[in-house]
Structure 1
Amino acid sequence: MSSSLHIERLDPATCPEYDAFVQSCEAGTIYASRAFAQFLAATAGGTPDCLIARKADSIVGVLPFCTGTVPDRGLVLNSLPWFGSHGGCVLQDPSDDAARHALLEAWHERALAPDVLSATMVLTASEEAFRARYVAHTGARLGDTRIGQVTTMPATEEDQPGALLAHLSQKTRNLVRKSLKQGFVEELRSDDEAWCFLYQTHRENMSALGGRSKPWPHFEALRRCFGPSGLRLSLARCEGTPAAALLLLLWRDTVEYITPVVRQEYRSRQALSFLIYRAMLETSAQGYRNWNWGGTWQTQTSLLHFKAGWGAESRPYSYLVSGSWSDHAPDPNEVDRALQALPYYYCYPSHWLKQSC
């Protein structure tokens, strides 16, 4: 390891130099950005933090994470918390093993502290190729996996609609064509009424699925931290009535699929397909190349198939878990206590608890 390489810590939410570095990295993601650190500080609980690898005066790598507190018990580290986030190393040069090694050793040292209950790192798809090195340098265990899915959108062409439709499966093309005949009108909105419709319909949709919805303060924080230039909120109206909405985050050349919602009575008329198609058409014409659908459980076959219909390719990624709970199975009640204190953190793999019972 180069003697000029050293590790320091800083708050990514308050450091412009950090954000400029992440923006410059080919493998940088919105989840490593300063805006997302500010968002996590407002919503996930705990404190944003970051390990920085420097050579001389230049940043060559970063490892963002958050530290959450379980009262009277200890700490939980996540790189990173919240729905579908990724963490791990972001390197100026992905082949820089010295910087990756130094960052992972510093993470390992932090995870070994006696007050750390659990430390989870969610790898990006690009760092998944180096998973064996993560395990070797941190002693972490594979706690979970997800399947990330990304659509590479066509470059701007004279016939952009035709190029985009050709990128989709036959079934999805048919659904899009159906949606275009329903009389929907797309509106790009940023007002309170649009955000309220998004939130209320999201709650209804998640309740119908038996899932957990994002709280209203999280939508407020997204709106505040990313601003009009960093997000895209669209509504589909039918004869003046809101039918569906789609919230996307925009970062460099990537569109992040954050919250899609649709009123039940417009589902069969493909109101959401209409909004996705319109958003893909506009963002690809603006130069965005990647549409990140986020992670999906391997058991969610219908959702995997839906995303694949939009031209998405699978990019698996891992959750690597260390900390004292990784070595000694905790009491399930202690894990429940941690989840109650830190509901947006990954605290412990549920299947490990089942194995220890």
Structure 2
Amino acid sequence: MIEGQDREVAVRPLATAADASAYSRFLDQCPAATVYHSLPYRDLVLRSTPCEARYALAWRGQDVIGALPLMAADGPLGTVINSLPFFGSHGDLLTTDDRAAPALQGWFREQLRDDGVAAATIVTNPFDDAPKADWSEASLVDERIAQWTVLARENGDRIDIHSAIDGSARRNVAKALADFVSVEVDNSAVDFLADCHKHNMAGIGGRCKPEAFFAALPITMVPERDYRIYVAKVDGKPIGALLVFLFKHFVEYIMPVTAPGNREHQPTAPIIYRAMQDAQSEGRRIWNWGGTWTSQTGVYRFKKKWAATEKRYSYRIFVRDDRVLGQTAETLTAAYPYFFVVPFSALAQAGAAE
């Protein structure tokens, strides 16, 4: 029996099509579930970076009452586990029954006991108002700021977006409209999105999403069910775009891009404004901006001017092999692409070479 497991609760890996259907029904019933927990997103990540999925389900009879999604990547130091990897995806366990949490945590501890595991990270879920898991035994903790804009209250009452956002955001929208920027949905604009993303990241020295991500997007996700691409145009020419993910009452702000030479048109502002209005009309309540590092003051202020509220959440890191602390940021990033291993500040404290 798995450590801490209730006799009435069984934990098993998600392994069959029937398991997948049961898991998807569970997510529909779980208010804290986000797109990152979903199976289309799982498949997108599996096609975007070398890794394997280890999703555990807690069953009580024929019902799924909890789940813990993990992904694992092998590398020169052993296996690194994340819940979840790929640009800060939220993971952590989900439950609809308190008995599921200790059983799933026991299953997680079993994963850590594998001699080949170098490190594991749980990215906690800021949308879980009453988390059942206790990850206090983690070796290290790293903090992030979750930011999201409430589009409608739980009773369905919509907020007035124009009044809620900051004056500078309203001016950016007005300037774009004065420049005759139009916005439309074009879910076929994946190549334009990818090309602009590559140029934008090169311009700021940021890390690009891999080409495999863009190839996998229309294969693993369904447009209008799982994702949508907004495109801004001037005189019929695309000048910017935004990829959003759609899941239940959430809209996820995933990838804004601006075509080279068009930043003065402020294409992102009218796209966001239009996308927020569309989300409201569809009954969605939360526009999730994603996580922000505490050092990213400019990014934080940008989200804040769009009426973002905030909450701290954490990365709980379990170090099983101290060799990871002796690496450089570059070696870990190369060895485990798109996986979180340890905070880079921990490497510096351990005397890792710069």
Counterparts in 2 of 1:12 and 1:296: CA distance versus 1, 3 Å: farther
Q: Distance in 1 between matches of 2:204 and 2:33?
A: 33
Shift of 1:340: 2.0
SS class of match (1:4): coil
Match of 1:141 in 2: 139
Task: Tell whether 2:156 aligns with 1:151.
Answer: no
Task: Tell whether 2:234 aligns with 1:234.
Answer: no
Q: Distance in 1 between matches of 2:245 and 2:183?
A: 18
Match of 2:175 in 1: 178
Shift of 1:243: 1.0
Match of 1:122 in 2: 123
Using the size of structure 1 for normalisation, the TM-score is 0.89
Shift of 1:50: 1.1
Deviation string 1:148-196 (CA, Å, 9 cap, x unpaired) is 111111479xx98x921012112212222222222012121122xx211
Match of 2:342 in 1: 348
Residue among 37, 42, 48 paired with 1:37 = 42
Shift of 1:9: 1.4
Match of 1:18 in 2: 23
Deviation string 1:2-43 (CA, Å, 9 cap, x unpaired) is 421121112488722111211221111111111111112111
Match of 2:12 in 1: 8
Match of 1:63 in 2: 68
Q: Distance in 2 between matches of 1:84 and 1:210?
A: 18
Counterparts in 2 of 1:220 and 1:349: CA distance versus 1, 3 Å: same
Moved more, 55-64 or 260-269: 260-269
Shift of 1:302: 1.3
Structure 1's unaligned 5+ residue stretches are: none
Counterparts in 2 of 1:2 and 1:23: CA distance versus 1, 3 Å: same
Match of 1:89 in 2: 93
SS class of match (1:15): helix
What letter is aligned with 1:61?
G
Match of 2:257 in 1: 261
Q: Is the 8 A contact 2:140 2:318 kept in 1?
A: no
Deviation string 1:43-92 (CA, Å, 9 cap, x unpaired) is 12111111211112211100000111115x42111111101201111112
SS class of match (1:134): coil
Match of 1:50 in 2: 55
Q: Distance in 2 between matches of 1:46 and 1:304?
A: 31
% of aligned pairs identical?
Answer: 32
Q: Is the 8 A contact 1:112 1:323 kept in 2?
A: no
Counterparts in 2 of 1:318 and 1:133: CA distance versus 1, 3 Å: same
SS class of match (2:304): helix
Task: Tell whether 2:213 aligns with 1:218.
Answer: yes
What letter is aligned with 1:10?
L
Q: Is the 8 A contact 1:76 1:119 kept in 2?
A: yes
Q: Is the 8 A contact 1:53 1:103 kept in 2?
A: yes
Q: Distance in 1 between matches of 2:250 and 2:280?
A: 10
Q: Distance in 2 between matches of 1:109 and 1:153?
A: 41
Structure 2's unaligned 5+ residue stretches are: none
Q: Distance in 1 between matches of 2:243 and 2:6?
A: 44
Cα RMSD over matched residues? Answer: 2.4
Q: Is the 8 A contact 2:101 2:132 kept in 1?
A: no
Counterparts in 2 of 1:350 and 1:129: CA distance versus 1, 3 Å: farther
Counterparts in 2 of 1:99 and 1:19: CA distance versus 1, 3 Å: same
Q: Distance in 2 between matches of 1:278 and 1:130?
A: 33
Superposition pairs for residues 266-281 of structure 1, below 5 Å? 266-281=262-277
SS class of match (2:262): helix
Q: Distance in 1 between matches of 2:106 and 2:87?
A: 26
Q: Is the 8 A contact 2:54 2:69 kept in 1?
A: yes
Q: Is the 8 A contact 1:128 1:317 kept in 2?
A: no
Shift of 1:289: 0.8
Q: Distance in 1 between matches of 2:16 and 2:325?
A: 31
Using the size of structure 2 for normalisation, the TM-score is 0.90
SS class of match (1:265): coil
